[in-house]
């Protein structure tokens, strides 16, 4: 058990264009149909404050220094933890967060070369030490992911050079290897419904182990 609350905490990670957001919408429809109590949130932008921070972070052309970027993502996360994630877990819900601590390690650590230990300490602070029980890494080649978006990307992060995105993807694969109990890889190049089947199966295994309600 990664935490002491009655709910279940799962995060979704991956490089640009991996389809996490589409997949989570499909899953939400199934959870609704099965009346499973859940909360869906995202980093950045899961709260009203977070939406403002997200706008600052993703606005194309906004000058944001790497350290300011890291701290803004952390500020968003601290708000999401206190306003959405912890209340959801305390209420016994399935909490699914689209991106979380591993995005900071992959993007600001491996992507921007900020010290990994510093990022891990900040992650601890902003989350009050809360780790997910399961992290699904939607993996695909950076070129493929970016190719699914508008040419050249549309937000400030997507517009980064391809070398940056390569480092992010390799970073994710490295982190996943370091914590094999928490991470499960999903091949995001597969067809939409196969990716959805993989996601449902992996979450279902965790929920069955906890004897928690699922679809």
**Site residues (vs ligand TMP, CB under 6 A):** 16, 42-44, 73, 99, 103-104, 107-108, 157
Q: Smallest gap, in angstroms, from Cβ of residue 125 to ligand TMP? A: 13
Alpha carbons 156 and 72: distance in angstroms, whole number: 14
Alpha carbons 120 and 128: distance in angstroms, whole number: 12
Indicate the DSSP class of residue 147. H
Q: Smallest gap, in angstroms, from Cβ of residue 34 to ligand TMP? A: 26
Name the residue nearer to ligand TMP (CB basis): 6 or 147. Answer: 147
How far are the Cα atoms of 1, 13, 136, 188, 190 from residue 18, in angstroms, in the given order?
A: 28, 9, 11, 6, 10
Q: Which residues contact 157 (CB under 8 A, 6 or more apart)?
A: 16, 57, 58, 107
Q: Smallest gap, in angstroms, from Cβ of residue 72 to ligand TMP? A: 9
Name the residue nearer to ligand TMP (CB basis): 167 or 214. Answer: 167
CA 157 to chain centroid: 15
Name the residue nearer to ligand TMP (CB basis): 99 or 214. Answer: 99
Q: Smallest gap, in angstroms, from Cβ of residue 44 to ligand TMP? A: 5
Name the residue nearer to ligand TMP (CB basis): 164 or 210. Answer: 164
Cα four-point dihedral sign 75, 77, 81, 85: positive
């Amino acid at each position: 058990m990664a935490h002491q609350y009655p709910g279940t905490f799962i995060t979704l990670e991956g490089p640009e264009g991996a389809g996490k957001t589409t997949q989570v919408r499909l899953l939400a429809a199934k959870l609704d149909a099965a009346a499973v109590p859940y909360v869906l949130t995202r980093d950045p932008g899961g709260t009203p404050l977070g939406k403002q921070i997200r706008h600052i972070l993703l606005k194309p052309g906004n000058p944001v220094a790497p350290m300011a970027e890291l701290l803004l993502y952390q500020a968003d996360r601290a708000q999401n933890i206190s306003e959405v994630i912890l209340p959801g877990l305390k209420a016994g819900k399935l909490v699914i967060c689209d991106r979380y601590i591993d995005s900071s390690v992959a993007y600001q650590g491996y992507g921007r070369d900020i010290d990994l230990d510093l990022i891990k300490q900040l992650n601890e602070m902003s989350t009050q030490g809360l780790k997910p029980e399961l992290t699904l890494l939607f993996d695909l080649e950076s070129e493929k992911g970016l190719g699914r978006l508008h040419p050249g990307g549309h937000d400030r992060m997507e517009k980064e050079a391809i070398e940056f995105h390569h480092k992010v993807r390799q970073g994710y694969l490295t982190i996943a290897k370091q914590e094999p109990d928490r991470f499960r890889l999903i091949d995001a190049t597969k067809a939409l419904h196969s990716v959805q089947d993989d996601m449902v199966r992996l979450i279902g295994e965790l929920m069955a182990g906890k004897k928690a309600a699922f679809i």
